[in-house]
Amino acid sequence: MLRLLSVLFIALFAFSCSSGPNLEVTYFQTDVTPPIGSPVAYAPTRSVTDSLSARGVVLFPKGQKPVVLCAIDWLAVSNRSMDDFKSYLAEAAGTTPDRVTIHTIHQHDTPWCDVSSEEILASNGLGGIRFDLGFLESSMKATAAAVKASLDRRKPVTSIGFGEAKVDSVASNRRILGEDGKVKIVRYSSARDSAAINAPEGLIDPYLKSVSFWNNDEALVVLNYYATHPQSYYGQGDVNPEFIGLARNTVQAKSGIPQVFFIGAAGNIAAGKYNNGSPEMRPVLTRRIADAMEKAFVVTQKSEPAPGLTWRSEPLALPLANFLKEDSLQNAIADTTRNFNDRFTIARHLAWIARNKAGTPLSVTSLQLGDIWLLHLPGEPFVEYQLAAQEHKKGQHVCTAAYGDDGPIYIGTEIAYSQGGYEVQTIVNMTTAEAEKEVLKVIKKVLP
């Protein structure tokens, strides 16, 4: 009799395990606003007009280790700082760093996180000017604590939703070509020049994509994806999450549903055609993004999560630009007659060389949710990579999050390096035209 009861107990336990949810999810959020005086991208923090957050989800696919997807209201996380950040979140979630992806929203009045560059600056007497390591470290730990605290709030996912909506008058291509096929005008995040404003919108991805996780009729969290630089105006140290973060916050407050926003492959995309850089335009751009978020959610179509959700991760080794010569750069950064910005650029170059010498590649990852694919890219890749991924999985839904590890900064297409323009200048680009084939090859591996 005892043996029969034991067999029944084992059978019931096995049944309960096999009949559990294919997927569970929890949402986390924490404040990562720098204190007054702490450096942000172009100046010390002089005011906080709106707070910054790190937020995301932990996904629990049945029979697998958790997956962490995180977006943070910072300019960039690069090199060893990205490795450290992933390790913190992985430990908190009970998973491994290769199943963690972290992306910045890339607002320009926000912190940059790069301990590798800071150590090089500090060794040349320039520490603490661009990076506040104490604040950055405490923010990473606070995000990990938020992840850990969220684990007890996980809920089953009975369906996954997808919707998309066209965004009205926000994104435009930054690279305006002349008749010779070279970049004639770089249309940055704002423009007042009539030639830049009147030039065609150019190649963009006009759609905002929305992926939602549901427990029956309850929307648990929404992930939003759209490709544009998120700046309206910036540069004086007035910390805020910009029009993307403000739209996200507005929709979350209105709907009561947690919202996470990922910036797509927007290396050559910004709001310049539709933004004159005035303070009055920020709420206009905010409303346009919020409208698209709400419309994408309204048209959402739901389906049950498929069993065996798949996480894929592949290394990406980018070719090193020819100008990156360590000896000459070491001499240049030691030259005290150079201004700080020049030496800061050199520190980033040296940090990227060191990463490559150490054989630490970038990573490209994806999460397959049935016919929905979440693609995660490093750096600031051009929108062509996002469009190529969508074409590769035509008929399915590919949502691209870029601005992962920003060690290499811009990643152009092959032709871009012969066209010129800001995005391929040595100050912000540390790879070559051969990068395109490497990136596309890896994208196809994680989107088989």
Cβ atoms of 54 and 29 within 8 Å: the answer is yes
* Local confidence band at 151 (pLDDT 50, 70, 90 cut-offs): very high
> Residue 11: inside a domain, yes or no?
no
What average pLDDT does range 276-302 have in this prediction?
98
Strands (E), 191-309: 207-215, 218-226, 238-239, 259-263, 269-270, 301-303
> Residue 10: inside a domain, yes or no?
no
Residues 169-194 have pLDDT tens digits of 999 999 999 999 999 999 999 999 99
Residues 122-132 have pLDDT tens digits of 999 999 999 99
Cβ atoms of 125 and 31 within 8 Å: the answer is no
> Residue 6: inside a domain, yes or no?
no
Phi, psi at 114, each rounded to 5°: -155, 85
Domains held by the chain: number: 1
> Residue 311: inside a domain, yes or no?
yes
Cβ atoms of 130 and 188 within 8 Å: the answer is no
Residues paired with 364 in a beta bridge: 314
- Please, what is the Cα angle at 41 between 413 and 325, to 5 degrees? 55
> Residue 255: inside a domain, yes or no?
yes
Residues 385-405 have pLDDT tens digits of 999 999 999 999 999 999 999
* Res 5: pLDDT: 40
What average pLDDT does range 138-142 have in this prediction?
98
* Res 19: pLDDT: 56
| Dist CA 367 CA 388 (whole Å) | 17
> Residue 9: inside a domain, yes or no?
no
Residues 12-45 have pLDDT tens digits of 333 334 456 899 999 999 999 999 999 999 999 9
> Residue 165: inside a domain, yes or no?
yes
CA distance readout (Å), 378 to 84, 248, 305, 317, 423: 16, 22, 27, 11, 15
Cβ atoms of 76 and 39 within 8 Å: the answer is no
Whether the pLDDT of residue 411 is over 50: the answer is yes
> Residue 282: inside a domain, yes or no?
yes
What average pLDDT does range 298-310 have in this prediction?
90
* Res 268: pLDDT: 98
Provide the domain limits for residue 259: 21-446
Residues 193-219 have pLDDT tens digits of 999 999 999 999 999 999 999 999 999
The mean pLDDT value of the chain amounts to 95
